[in-house]
Amino acid sequence: MSLFITFEGIEGCGKTTQIRLLAESLRARGLQVLATREPGGCPIADAIRSILLDSANSRMAPRTELLLYAAARAQHVFEVISPALTEGKAVLCDRFTDATVAYQGYGRRLDRELIAQLNRLAAEDVVPDLTLLLDFPPEEGLRRACLRNESLPEFNEDRFEQESLDFHRRVRAGYLEAAAREERFRIIDARGTVAEVAARVEMTVAEFLLQKERA
Ligand code: TMP
């Protein structure tokens, strides 16, 4: 039984840690798990990721950015996600199509119908079974993301962390609107300790798996 779970949220919401913890707990239940991320997840998409996040590329046009995210996703779905789902694995992905809706659609204000078309093209119609939106206040998320980057040996705040608070508020609003529209979303309060958030994630996934088994 394949399973595709995506994690979404603004910068600093704690997705990466929560994916690692959920992967461990699903493995302990005997599932074969693949944890991956976007942009990235395979060499071609990782190369596109470095172009996208390089703060030296401040002149990148919003449409260039949109097409690069789509290109990275097309390769990632083709090379990693689709084959893993075909093999019956549980795929956990740090960001997917909803990130493009939230960041390029609501953050950059690009045409949302065009984004929906590009998402379908890039994702080969692969749609998550479950999307966990880790909801977190943008002010705190940005502060966390900056602290994390400052602690890296080569401090280089990425292009999105340089965006204004207003941009990140629009991104959060975009995610919340998508969550209200699409049934596959669950909103998780990402405030509190890592263990508290992990317990919320685990409970939500357990409920979903139970529903899926009964269906
Ligand atoms: P990360 O911080 O989760 O590694 O994601 C990298 C950045 O890329 C983050 O600022 C969000 C941004 N992003 C988009 O703008 N559009 C997308 O489609 C994806 C997948 C990420």
Give the pLDDT confidence of 89-123 residue by residue, as tens digits.
999 999 999 999 999 999 999 999 999 999 999 99
Buried b (16+ CB within 10 A) or exposed e, 49-74: beebbeeeeeeeeeeebbebbbbbbb
**In this structure, which amino acid lies at residue 36?**
T
Q: Are 12 and 141 spatial neighbours (Cβ–Cβ below 8 Å)?
A: yes
Q: Are 135 and 7 spatial neighbours (Cβ–Cβ below 8 Å)?
A: no
Name the closest-CA residue to atom 16, ligand 1. Answer: 100
Q: Is 69 in the pocket of ligand 1 (CB under 6 A)?
A: yes
Name the closest-CA residue to atom 19, ligand 1. Answer: 99
Which residue would you say has higher pLDDT here, 72 or 144? 72
Residue 137 DSSP class: -
Residue 154 pLDDT greater than 60, yes or no: no
Query: Other C-beta atoms within 10 Å of 173: how many?
Result: 14
For residue 213, the CA-to-ligand 1 centroid distance in Å is 32
Terminal C-alpha separation, the chain: 13
Q: Where are the domains of the chain?
A: 3-214
Q: Are 102 and 160 spatial neighbours (Cβ–Cβ below 8 Å)?
A: no
Give the pLDDT confidence of 116-136 residue by residue, as tens digits.
999 999 999 899 999 999 999
Beta-bridge partners for 131: 6, 185
Q: What are phi and psi of 67, to 5 degrees?
A: -70, -35
Substitution candidate for ligand 1 out of 7, 93, 103, 162 with most atoms within 8 A of CB: 103
Q: Cis omega before residue 153 (within 30°)?
A: no
Please report how many Cα atoms fall inside a 13 Å half-sphere around the Cα of residue 4, on the Cβ side: 20
Spatial neighbors of 97 by CB under 8 A, at least 6 apart, are 73, 119, 122, 123
**56 alpha carbon, distance to own chain's centre:** 23
Q: Is 103 in the pocket of ligand 1 (CB under 6 A)?
A: yes
Closest C-alpha to 128, from 83, 185, 62: 185
Q: Which two tokens stand for residue 61?
A: 């046009």
Give the pLDDT confidence of 179-214 residue by residue, as tens digits.
999 999 999 999 999 999 999 999 999 999 999 889
pTM of the predicted model as reported, rounded to 2 decimal places: 0.94
CATH 3.40.50.300 fits 3-214, yes or no: yes
Residue 136 DSSP class: -
Q: Are 25 and 149 spatial neighbours (Cβ–Cβ below 8 Å)?
A: no
